Amino acid sequence: MSPNPEKPLTKFETGEVLLLDKPYLWTSFNLVHKIRNQIQKSYNLKKLKVGHAGTLDPLATGLVIICTGKKTKEIDIYQAKEKEYVAEFYLGAVTPSFDLETEPEQFKTIDSVTDSDIYRVAQSFVGKQMQVPPVFSAKRVDGQRAYEAARKGKMLEMKANEVEIFEVEILSIKKPVVEVRISCSKGTYIRSMAQDFGQKLECGAYLKNLRRTKIGNFFVENAITIDKLEEIV
């Protein structure tokens, strides 16, 4: 009797590119871990390569590209693509993390900030520029994640990186909140942009809300929730 043929690879081992709508408070690692466990359990796999093509902060929602199996070799291609976000900047205060992970402080009046000021400052971001990442970020400094040190009260020195903002569109102004659509390059921190936005307006600002809506030609409208993925798997 001839031996059994080798078990064929599942479609997830061959490689799949999944578009996920990341829930609020989930980390990108949480998403990868959940998907890997779900697929391994459903297909009785001992191991499976799974990775994400670009971190999205826990307080943000929206599009995350997940690659499985042999498609993980293409992660760098997806990471390099242009990103689009819809963000809410809160004017008149700052936070150490540049978002709501930490408490707002240094409150200032925004009575003198006009709509024309906001439009002018928004357009000043278009183009290539040097941007300093937040101390509460996944950026590695001397082999350590910056946010891990920051949460212990140690603020690491963050070096500026070159990024490019392709487009900034003001969607609405309902002071103190400004809703903005941003198209940008890999490595751009919208939290840092919020902080810089407030500095240019001389009133302070932090990121109140963030949703990633697009990566290259992939749209969040075509993404599925983690619950829907469980149904499909």
Q: 150-187 burial by CB neighbour count: b if 16+ within 10 A, else e? A: beeeeebebeebebbbeebebeebeebebbbebbbebb
Mean pLDDT per 10-residue segment, the chain (233 residues):
53 94 94 94 93 93 97 96 98 96 96 98 98 77 68 74 97 98 96 97 98 98 92 81
User: What range defines the domain where residue 41 resides?
Assistant: 11-80+217-232
Cα–Cα nearest to 74, from 47, 54, 45, 56: 54
Do both 124 and 194 map to the same domain? yes
Cα–Cα nearest to 135, from 116, 121, 151, 123: 151
Catalytic residue among 57, 99, 142, 196: 57
What per-residue confidence (pLDDT) applies to 10? 84
Is there a catalytic annotation at residue 76?
no
The CATH code of the domain that includes 27 is 3.30.2350.10
Domain count, the chain: 2
Contact present, 157 and 81 (Cβ < 8 Å): no
- Whether 223 maps to a domain, the answer reads yes
Q: Which two tokens stand for residue 119?
A: 């439009």
The dihedral built from the CA positions of residue 59, 65, 71 and 77, taken in this order, carries a sign that is: negative
What per-residue confidence (pLDDT) applies to 217? 96
Do both 16 and 67 map to the same domain? yes
Do both 35 and 146 map to the same domain? no
- Whether 167 maps to a domain, the answer reads yes
Do both 178 and 93 map to the same domain? yes
Do both 120 and 60 map to the same domain? no
pTM of the model: 0.90
d(CA 25, CA 22): 9
Q: Find out whether the peptide bond into 96 is cis, omega within 30 degrees of 0.
A: no
